[in-house]
Amino acid sequence: MFNFEIVNFRTFNSTGFHQFTVLEQFRISPCKRFTMKTLARVTAILTAFVLFYGCGSAPVEEKTVAANTQQEVKRPISPEMALENFIIATGHEARGEYLMAVNSLLTAYEFDPAPGISYGLAKNYYMLGKLSQALPYAKEAVAKDSLEKEYYYLLADIYTSGRQPDAAEAVISALVKRYPGDYSALYRLANIYEKSKPLSAIEVYLKILEEEPEDWNAYIRLADLYDKTGNKERSTEIIEEFLQYNPSSTELKQVLVNYYISLKKYDKALSHIEGILQIFPDDPGALESKARIFVEQNNFVAASAPYLKLIEAPDTRLDMKLNIGVVYFEKALANDTLLRVADTIFTVVEKDTVNWITHFYKGAIATLLGDTLAAKERFFKVPGDSFLYLQVWQRIGGLVYDAKKYKEAAFIMERAHDNFPDDFLINFFLGLSYALNGDYAASEPFLFKATDLNPNEINTWSAYAFTLSRLKKDTLAVEVYEKALELEPRNTDLLNSLAIVCDGMGNQAKSDSLYTLSLQIDPKNALAANNFAYSLSKRGVRLDEALRLAKIALEVDPNSPSYMDTYGWVHFKLGNYDTAKVYIEKALAMDGDNHELLDHFGDVMFKLGNKDEALVYWRKALEFDKENESIKRKIERGEI
């Protein structure tokens, strides 16, 4: 068997040096391999011994020992017995058997309450999470041997774990006072200060840099602290300073890039990025930062170059590639120049994935580019009718709809409808897209089905009724509006819309009552006030009331050309032609192609005696409303 003999360790007592054997034989059975792990354990035991007993033990005499909370027991001081139990405890500790280590250390403590044993007890209690038992032993270790740094560290850790940062600070401050240049102690003190005294932490880190001017971590912590205290400029100065020691460090440059981007100092950030890319042209962090700068400047065209390099890199995650493509697709809805970029991105993504989602976006992009054949081919490749695919159809179609590209949204939703004919949102957005594109006949069946699929959705009833009114199906439109009002009787939008239909049908009594109810619910409802005023003025009745209502609408929205026209038109009906001219002329300046405003202004000019000018405006109005018989008659007769 293997034998390891370690002898002649001494401890000082009142009679001089007492010699004893620490370990006469450390036997390892030949049936077990002697591994590096075993050697490490032996080394740990010996190291612990040197740490705990290197500074001596108590005098050899009989004394009373209080092992923390245990009853007092009189034992003769015996370093040999203390050491024997201490070594057993160290073995338990090395194996993570902290409770057994505590038991052995308590026995050792009875034989010799040396500072190292107090430290061992504190440490193992701490590992067990028993802070109240650990604390007195840790204090005792420091009191008995104020030169040992590890004792201070443990005591501070116990205070920190017990949420007593001030006490931990006091312990480490005492250690720093004793050892002003101790690197580890300064770091511990700085870490404690960071949470509650960031300015003090800065001072400590600056002191650390005096001792170690190339300490990477100290520079980073300093930069972070300056950042947290609102001094981003100083943060960048600190990192720039450290960069002088490490001019080739891409990590430092990347940290600086992030700071400069946060400060919106894009030129400085780009300077460091280019420095990184000269050495590492495919560095993902630098490429992403470069793209990010252009994105923050809303220059997505410039951002596309670094993004494409990222996407082409085999190590770039698929989800990141797809996210970049989706962002460009969404931005392309407001900027057609980005459509080709988005298409290129998804083309590159397709090279390393068979993910079906690329077909959705490639199809949508083809639709927006006007290539419906390519779009159909792409959409045809979208497999099945799972709920996941439905969500993507809804999202892409919804995005195109929100971008007010109603023709393209209708095309996409038609393809979605082929797979999901009974989905409420598909039918609703398809119907709305057709309606807002002016194709009310195509819109009607989808909105009707949407009301059947979700009869409690008020917006569906409203959109369906609006479509019916545009198709001149006024009677059915009234029925649908009334159904919607059964769901929300005090919905002023529905009341106003129904009033318009009733007014157009010649049912002014019902129209007036609906406007009156709407204004009772919301006296400042500008739309109801304006429409009611205009309806009264067209009939030439209750003109004073009409003027009051028109004024309410104009006060709510003084920049509305429609409200200006109504206010001017009521004045026209009252015979106030000069006032009418002022307001209708203002409205025309904002909406010069509106046939109704042009017609009204022609009437005003006629009443003011400018017949030739009146004809000019009537003729222009007829250009925008070629079937208007009233305007035709005025032009033919040359008068109102």
Inter-helix orientation angle 339-350/318-332, to 10°? 160
Residue 24 has which token pair?
């006469």
How many H-runs (helices) and E-runs (strands) does the chain carry? 34, 4
By CB atoms closer than 10 A (0-12, 13-18, 19+), residue 231 is middle
The first and second tokens of residue 377, run together, are 């081919």
Residue owning tokens 């580890």? 184
Task: State the average pLDDT over residues 21-47.
Answer: 37
CB hemisphere CA count around 558 (13 angstroms): 1
Asked if 54 and 25 touch (Cβ cutoff 8 Å), the reply is no
Query: Tokens standing for 50?
Result: 């040197």
Write out 354-368 in H/E/C secondary structure. Answer: CCCHHHHHHHHHHHH
Interval 25-31 mean pLDDT: 31
CA 8 – CA 385 distance, rounded (Å) = 84
* Cα separation, 162 vs 349, whole angstroms: 52
Q: Is 50 exceeded by the pLDDT of residue 16?
A: no
pLDDT at 456: 96
pLDDT for the residue numbered 392? 92
Residue type (1 letter), 525: N
* Reported pTM: 0.65
What are 247-306's pLDDT values in tens digits? 888 888 998 899 899 889 999 999 999 999 999 999 999 999 999 999 999 999 999 999
75 pLDDT band (50/70/90 cuts)? low
Contact between 615 and 635 under an 8 Å Cβ cutoff? The reply is yes
Q: In sequence order, what E strands does 8-90 have?
A: 9-13, 16-20, 62-65, 73-76
| Sign (positive or negative) of CA dihedral 65, 71, 72, 74 | negative
Rounded distance between C-alpha atoms, residue 304 and residue 254, angstroms: 20
According to DSSP, residue 428 is labeled H
Residue 528, both tokens: 């109801």
Q: Which of 297, 293, 300 lies closest to 274, judged by CA?
A: 293
The residue among 131, 187, 183 whose CA lies nearest residue 160 is: 131
Residues 15 and 606: their CA atoms lie apart, in Å, by: 131
> For the segment 347-366, what is each residue's pLDDT rounded down to a tens digit?
999 887 767 889 999 999 99
Higher pLDDT, 51 or 483: 483
Average pLDDT over residues 588-597: 96
Q: Is 412 within 8 Å of 420 (Cβ atoms)?
A: no
pLDDT at 232: 83
Kindly give, in sequence order, each residue whose CB lies less than 8 Å from that of residue 116, ignoring residues fewer than 6 positions away: 48, 51, 52, 53, 54, 55, 86, 141, 145
Identify the residue whose tokens are 């032009």. 635
DSSP character for 507?
Answer: -
| Radius of gyration, CA atoms only, the chain | 43
Tokens (6 digits) for 415 = 């393809």
- The whole-angstrom separation of Cα 191 and Cα 71 is 39
Instruction: Concatenate the DSSP letters of all residues of 586-609 into one string.
Output: HHHHH-TT-HHHHHHHHHHHHHTT
- Tokens, residue 69: 């909370």
Give the distance from CA 489 to its chain's centroid.
40
Q: What percent of the chain has pLDDT over 90?
A: 72
Q: Is pLDDT larger for residue 46 or for residue 452?
A: 452
Between CA 156 and CA 169 the distance in angstroms is: 7
Asked whether residue 483 carries a pLDDT value surpassing 90, the answer given is yes
Q: Are 555 and 525 in contact (CB under 8 A)?
A: no
Mean pLDDT of the chain: 87
Q: What contacts 84, CB < 8 A, 6 or more positions away?
A: 108
Question: For the residues 411-426, what does the mean pLDDT come to?
Answer: 96
Q: Given a cut of 70, is residue 102 above it in pLDDT?
A: yes
**Cα distances (Å, whole numbers) of residue 597 to 128, 155, 423, 586, 639:** 85, 85, 42, 10, 17
User: In sequence order, which residues have a C-beta less than 8 Å from that of residue 240 and are 6 or more positions away?
Assistant: 256
Query: 74 pLDDT band (50/70/90 cuts)?
Result: low
> Do residues 104 and 88 touch, judged by C-beta distance below 8 A?
yes
User: pLDDT value at position 34?
Assistant: 32
> How far is it, in rounded angstroms, from Cα 615 to Cα 633?
11
Q: What is the DSSP letter of 18?
A: E
Which is higher by pLDDT, 59 or 351? 351
Q: Which residue has the tokens 């220059």?
A: 299
Longest CA–CA separation in the chain, Å: 138
Distant-in-sequence, close-in-space partners of 431: CB < 8 Å, separation ≥ 6? 443, 444, 445, 446, 447, 449, 450, 463, 464, 467
DSSP structure class, residue 291:
H
CATH no. of 77-179: 1.25.40.10
Q: Which of 115-124, 245-254, 545-554 has the lowest mean pLDDT?
A: 245-254
Q: Of 51-55, 318-322, 341-345, where does mean pLDDT reach its minimum? A: 51-55
Count other C-beta atoms under 10 Å from residue 93's C-beta.
22
Average pLDDT score over residue span 23-46: 37
Identify each DSSP E strand in 403-545 by its residue range. Answer: none
Confidence at 143, pLDDT banded by 50, 70, 90? very high
Structure tokens at 444: 């009607």
- Say how far apart CA 542 and CA 291 lie, in whole Å: 64
DSSP run (H or E) holding 348: helix 339-350
Contact 131, 158 (CB under 8 A): yes
- Please tell me which of 25-39, 191-205, 408-422 the model is most confident about, judged by mean pLDDT: 408-422
Tokens of 77: 């001081």
Closest CA to 22 of 79, 97, 100, 94: 79
Sort strands 73-76 and 62-65 into parallel, antiparallel or unpaired: antiparallel
What is the average per-residue pLDDT within 400-410? 97
pLDDT at 219: 86
